[in-house]
Amino acid sequence: MSPASRAARGTLALALAFALPFVAHAEGDAREQPAAAVDQIPEGQDVSDTVIDLAGWIVATGDSHGYPFAIMDKDAAQILVFGGDGRLRGAAPALFGSAVGDHIAPGIAGLALREIPGKDRTTPAGRFIGGFGPSLDAGRVLWVDYDSSVSIHPLATNVRSERRPERLASPEPDDNRVTHGCINVSPDFYELVIEPTFERGGVFYILPDTKPLAEVFPEFVQSRGTAQGEDGKRAKRRRQ
């Protein structure tokens, strides 16, 4: 990426521009251009270099195998959604697990929400293949990782003391850590972007809190040629 591009990093337009050059378009393709991406990122918030680079790498290498994909940045409390063609479909703030960490506690999928220890209310990091499926308490949900009962779903408002709507609306990402491990987005983003994009499943990339990036996405880090890695089916109950 050129110095000029680096200076402008963090904008949603740059994320889109970075990913698109790697998409192959058939000559004479008469399909209509997709609608503009839904942008709910709070004004003044940046999209990290790592997210931008990872999006470009996924498209360039075909790592999602033509399926739509999402990149989730827990530190910035953001989710970016791309179609199978590599085009940005939308970006928005999101709520993540209240515990800082990237692990999946053994047996957590079988626990009721109130039984999950605070230290294990993490949103795991990694590459996951998921899709819509049944749950015990919420009908059909979008599973990110079925084994750990982590899903993406519309904002839950049943516990007023957690102030989830206010947290999601806040421009500060630090207060977006409140869930039991699942990813919450606004209802309209879920309806406009999440549901239609992942109707047939997709690939989900969640950046780590504490694990080295090279441990979570080794091939991506190797492709960058940097030391970024040293940076810091039965229905189940979904984790909210």
Q: Is residue 239 in some structural domain?
A: no
Q: Is residue 240 in some structural domain?
A: no
Q: What is the CA radius of gyration of the chain?
A: 17
Q: Is residue 237 in some structural domain?
A: no
Residue 127's domain is classified under what CATH number? Answer: 2.40.440.10
pLDDT at 108: 66
Q: What is the mean pLDDT of each run of 10 residues along the chain (240 residues)?
A: 36 48 40 73 91 96 97 97 96 94 76 69 94 83 89 81 90 91 94 96 97 96 66 47
Q: Is residue 30 in some structural domain?
A: no
pLDDT at 9: 36
Q: Is residue 131 in some structural domain?
A: yes
Alpha helices in the chain (DSSP H): 3-7, 12-19, 49-61, 164-169, 187-189, 195-197, 213-216, 218-224
pLDDT at 225: 78
Q: Is residue 135 in some structural domain?
A: yes
Total domains in the chain come to: 1
Between the alpha carbon of residue 127 and those of residues 34, 35, 217, the distances in Å are 26, 27, 8
Q: Is residue 103 in some structural domain?
A: yes
For the entire predicted model, the pTM comes to 0.81
Q: What is the span of the domain harbouring residue 157?
A: 3-21+36-230
Q: 133 and 140 in contact (C-beta within 8 Å)?
A: yes
> What residues are paired with 135 via a beta bridge?
139, 236
Q: Is residue 238 in some structural domain?
A: no
